[in-house]
Structure 1
Amino acid sequence: MTSSTANSSPRPQELGAVLVTGASRGLGKALAELYAGDGWRVLACARQQLPGAAASMLPYPLDVSDAVSIETLGKILEGTAIDIVINNAAVRGDTGGLMSLRADDFMEVMRINALAPLLVAQALKPNLLAGRRKLLVNISSRAGSLAEGTLDDDDGDYAYRCSKAALNMATVKLAQDFQREGIAVISLHPGWIRTDMGGPDAVVDIAQSAQGLKGLIDTATMADSGSFRAYDGRTVSW
């Protein structure tokens, strides 16, 4: 496999473009800033403006809950080579358990957390094929693991758990489908991080998580495609 695939990380002088969804806050913002700081051209996608963004951070409007918005992004970026796409945008939804579950909330969480990453992959596949790294990253969660998701966590967030389990299957399926074209696809668990979603009681600092995830992303190869790992490098069971 040549250096045009995810099998080899680019040398510093070869740094290209990385696209991050949900880049206006939380983990997405932290990842976008890390890559911008390293000299990558960052395509920072979000519904909101990005005040004070680095010159290498190019803002693009994107509402991942809207299929038309995702399709429009693909058209805007037609012909643009992208080395890494990071599907980060997500919502948590209701956490009250079965009795507070509502259809609209559940479907909205599924649409954003599970369907949108597939639509992003569909829209930006030509861009990845034109890039050097050819890497698609789905920010998932251990909460979506059938084997580990409830071992030490009894929160009642049915929608979030189901959506991340679906996203993990999407990773496996995309990895299978994209293998012949040299695009690697991985799922990553960021840990329980202190963000608006994770809350103040979370145990992982956002900078620690972002650095760990970036390390995994930067060293990912085709041999890692279809895998599920945590920010600290541990393999997470499906």
Structure 2
Amino acid sequence: MASVICDSVLVTGSNRGIGLELVHQLVDLPKSPGHIFAGCRDPGGPKAQELRDLAQKHQGVITVVQLDTDSPDSIKEASNLVESKLNGKGLNLIINNAGVNIPGSLVETGKKEMVDSYTTNVVGPMLIAKNFHPLLCKAAAQFPQSSMSCSRPAIVNVSTLLSSITRCPENFYRSPMYPYRICKAALNMLTRCLAEDFRKDGILVASLHPGWVRTEMGGPQAPLTTAESVSGMIKVITSLTEKDSGTLLDWEGKNIPW
């Protein structure tokens, strides 16, 4: 693992599960980022207590940010807050982790389930990229001669193996999940579009499958702990290069076909 992942990072959905573990492991790196912005929908609520305790322990490094990825106004306000905290510097890395899993067979899935999933899992990451783009560009300008990496900067969209159209026949009947599969496939297209659009700015964009993880979303039968998944994710993120921009990788660094 690289000794330092980057100078500043924003993690969305950081009050539980993979997001919370990302903040834990990032701050415990031998050379942790100087700024870790931990975004969550309700920073003052009971579900954010562990995150608040962690931020209290690491004052000056972890900043808890009110960030509801379903709200354009919240995203804009969060970008303004992050900019003020960076004191003229750019933002190196965004990990778009916030998401929902609304399982459902075709019979169980209606308009609401599809729209709610799409709003959180696709529109949210798109608006994050749009609003934080100037800060990413500012970070990229600090390394004009450097090749793409998570320091120069990058966006990592947390996706899933279940988004793969190619792999769908081998796992569909175990996990039909129409809303989740379809919106995560759309998230992958967002990754491809952003990778092409932001290439001129030196910003790397990739999708990352964290594995099947034992979280509230993943369920108790999942084989991976959050610690195992996130440790692998950080190794992959620190090793990303220009060739990985616009691709879908898993937590072990293996390429997943679209």
Mapped pair 1:146 → 2:146: no
The count of aligned residue pairs is 228
Q: Which shows bigger deviation, 68-77 or 105-114?
A: 68-77
Asked whether the 8 Å contact 1:175–1:184 carries over to 2, the reply is: yes
What TM-score, normalized by structure 2, do the two folds share?
0.84
Unaligned runs of 5+ in 1: 1-8
Aligned CA distance change for structure 1 residues 213 and 32 (closer, same or farther; 3 Å) = same
**By how many angstroms is 1:153 displaced?**
4.0
Aligned CA distance change for structure 1 residues 196 and 126 (closer, same or farther; 3 Å) = same
**By how many angstroms is 1:139 displaced?**
0.4
**By how many angstroms is 1:216 displaced?**
0.9
Matching residue of 1:124: 132
Matching residue of 1:48: 42
Matching residue of 2:254: 234
Aligned CA distance change for structure 1 residues 15 and 190 (closer, same or farther; 3 Å) = closer
Match among 200, 211, 227 for residue 180 of structure 1: 200
1:7-46 correspondence runs (5 A)? 12=4, 15-38=6-29, 39-40=32-33, 41-46=35-40
Indicate the RMSD between aligned Cα atoms, in angstroms. 1.7
Matching residue of 1:115: 123
Moved over 4 A (4+): 9-12
Following the alignment from structure 1 to structure 2, what is the Cα–Cα distance between the partners of residues 23 and 174?
23
Asked whether the 8 Å contact 2:96–2:157 carries over to 1, the reply is: yes
Unaligned runs of 5+ in 2: 44-50, 140-150
Letter in 1 for 2:191: T
Match among 191, 213, 216 for residue 193 of structure 1: 213
Letter in 1 for 2:122: A
Q: Which shows bigger deviation, 214-223 or 135-144?
A: 214-223
SS of 1:51 mapped into structure 2 = helix
Q: Percent identity?
A: 33
Asked whether the 8 Å contact 2:104–2:179 carries over to 1, the reply is: no
Letter in 2 for 1:47: R
Asked whether the 8 Å contact 1:183–1:222 carries over to 2, the reply is: no
**By how many angstroms is 1:76 displaced?**
2.4
